[in-house]
Structure 1
Amino acid sequence: MCKVQFYKMEALGNDFVLFDGRDFSQDQISNLIKKENLLHIADRRLGIGCDQIILLTCNPSSKTPHFIRFFNQDGSEAGACGNGSRAIILYLSLCGEKNLSFQTSEGLITGKISGETISVFLPPPSFDASKIPMKPHLKGKDVFSDIKIKTWQQSYACSIGNPHATLFFETPDIALNERKKLGKILEHHADFPERVNIGFASLVTPHHLKLYVWERGAGMTYACGTGACAASINAIFLEMAQSPVKVEMEGGTVCVEWDRKNASPILLSGTAHFCYQGIIKIPSFTRG
């Protein structure tokens, strides 16, 4: 066992355990991200507890010196995390970094801070079935048509670096037990070979929607940044909403901006906070 420093961050109640692995060897990184270690770290009773685990490492690219990987509660890896990205921008700023950007497996993410608002520019969304991924015959619209859901109006799917399907309802007051039941079923729907994040959304105005998110590999969370982006973009694509969109979730509110005509990057803005730092023992982790 070896003691490893971690940093606890949160954005709208979406909480993260961040490891700054810029001085870790490849063997140390490989050991840290073993599934059994990730499960222990994410366990809210036996470990630290979090929605996602974030690993910061060095990047050889000339565009940014930072590379980020995201891991879910169940140990699976995610290509993107909107609120986690905003937490990383805050962490880099607190470290005195001037370059507030980082590379992920899905592309380059840049950020900025203005007062208490932390924003990130995420790569443009994809509606290509092969990139979401989902079965090609669906073409994004009316996914889960084989599932009967009360007050469900329509749905749409897209990728924000990870797969999202948004279900639009007449009312935002969807009972928690109903969301949990549907989320568990729909995450594993056969039309999505790599599983899918589920958004339960309702429009208040064309610039304001309410959202609950069942996250792939994490379940119901207080907030989800890429889920907020997906819900806004899907609503804009269906001509139900207009940018900018205020997205209200249980943990708080974010603002999503996206120019559909120019297929621009997505701007996600909201608050994030550093909570505390600590030490956790990781089995078989030895310092170099």
Structure 2
Amino acid sequence: MKLAFTKMHGLGNDFVVIDGVRQRVNLDPEAIRFLADRHFGIGCDQVLLVERPVDPSRALFRYRIFNADGGEVEQCGNGARCFAVFVREQGLTQADTIPVETLSGPIELRVEADGQVTVNMGRPRFHPDQLPFLAPTEVDEYPLEVDGEPLRIGAVSMGNPHAVLLVDAVATAPVERLGPAIEHHPRFPDRVNVGFAAVRARDRIDLRVWERGAGETLACGTGACAAMAVARRRGLVDTRVRVDLPGGSLVLSWSGESDQPVWMTGPATTVFHGRIER
């Protein structure tokens, strides 16, 4: 297997992006793990695959996301911004607004005049069945026992499942200890991404994220949306919020209405192009 690829990142959340439109691509879990390996492969948090859409009348591309462990996942906000920049840089489209298919449904990407990308991330889904999360009813906050420790979490799907834990300060949050324990908690049958969020003001959240199948990353777009949605639903933040992650900042907007999407704006950076043979 010889593949042309592009290395990109969104606030340090890094990706191997592969054009599956103009080259034949066969990615099984072993190949994904090889590409993502930082010692023997290229190295990345996720592998992104650009494909032709299933329904060309509704989308320009199909956007597929694979975690470093080889598993395919539903959504990745930082990856979506990189996807938009990639297809334009590669001459696959010159459209400013790019509708794409994802495993979790259609989303829309918009390249702004300053080069940043705004993504319609879809509406937050709070019902436990939509994550999935084992709970008898939908509430704003759930008790969760982790290794004998009682916690309180918010739970929301942004196309992929998120648990959000409010903390006093992200610098001292027990990400390495609680992240994997919550990710694999039996009440999350499909595992879960875990956000550790500190609300600093009504327009600012600090955030660290333990990503399902990848570990802690420098930034997580859907994690930022999830943290903002959980905080907004509890009345802790306003409709527009800056979320500061270890890799940089994203701007999120959500009205708080259940039928309205979260909008995310942030950068996407191309690092280098290459070819790899497996």
- Smaller-chain TM-score range? over 0.9
Does the 8 A contact of 1:89 with 1:101 survive in 2?
A: no
Q: Who is 1:137 aligned against?
A: 136
Q: Give TM-score scaled by structure 2 length.
A: 0.93
RMSD: 1.7
What residue identity is the alignment partner of 2:165? L
1:121 is the counterpart of 2:120: yes
C-alpha separation between the residues in 2 aligned to 1:190 and 1:140? Answer: 19
Does the 8 A contact of 2:73 with 2:103 survive in 1?
A: no
C-alpha separation between the residues in 2 aligned to 1:245 and 1:161? Answer: 20
Q: Who is 1:269 aligned against?
A: 265
The alignment covers a number of residue pairs equal to: 272
C-alpha separation between the residues in 1 aligned to 2:39 and 2:62? Answer: 29
Structure 1 residues 53 and 83: CA distance shift in structure 2, 3 A: same
Q: Name which of 178, 181, 199 aligns with 2:177.
A: 181
SS at match of 2:195: strand
Does the 8 A contact of 2:123 with 2:258 survive in 1?
A: no
Q: Who is 2:166 aligned against?
A: 168
Q: Who is 1:88 aligned against?
A: 83
In the TM superposition, residue 145 of structure 1 has moved relative to its aligned partner by: 2.6
Q: Who is 1:46 aligned against?
A: 40
C-alpha separation between the residues in 2 aligned to 1:253 and 1:41? Answer: 27
Structure 1 residues 144 and 219: CA distance shift in structure 2, 3 A: farther
Q: Give TM-score scaled by structure 1 length.
A: 0.89
C-alpha separation between the residues in 1 aligned to 2:251 and 2:154? Answer: 20
Does the 8 A contact of 1:140 with 1:158 survive in 2?
A: no
Q: Deviations over 1:105-130 (max 9, x none)?
A: 21212122220321111111111211
Q: Deviations over 1:165-190 (max 9, x none)?
A: 10001223225xx3111111110001
Q: Deviations over 1:29-68 (max 9, x none)?
A: 4x32x11111100000000000000011101410223001
C-alpha separation between the residues in 1 aligned to 2:39 and 2:143? Answer: 35
Q: Who is 2:187 aligned against?
A: 191
In the TM superposition, residue 226 of structure 1 has moved relative to its aligned partner by: 0.2
C-alpha separation between the residues in 2 aligned to 1:140 and 1:269? Answer: 28
In the TM superposition, residue 247 of structure 1 has moved relative to its aligned partner by: 0.2
Q: Who is 1:18 aligned against?
A: 17
> How do 1:64-83 and structure 2 match up within 5 A?
64-83=59-78
> Any unmatched runs of 5+ in structure 2?
none
Q: Who is 2:110 aligned against?
A: 112
Q: Who is 1:285 aligned against?
A: none
C-alpha separation between the residues in 1 aligned to 2:171 and 2:37? Answer: 29
> Any unmatched runs of 5+ in structure 1?
283-288
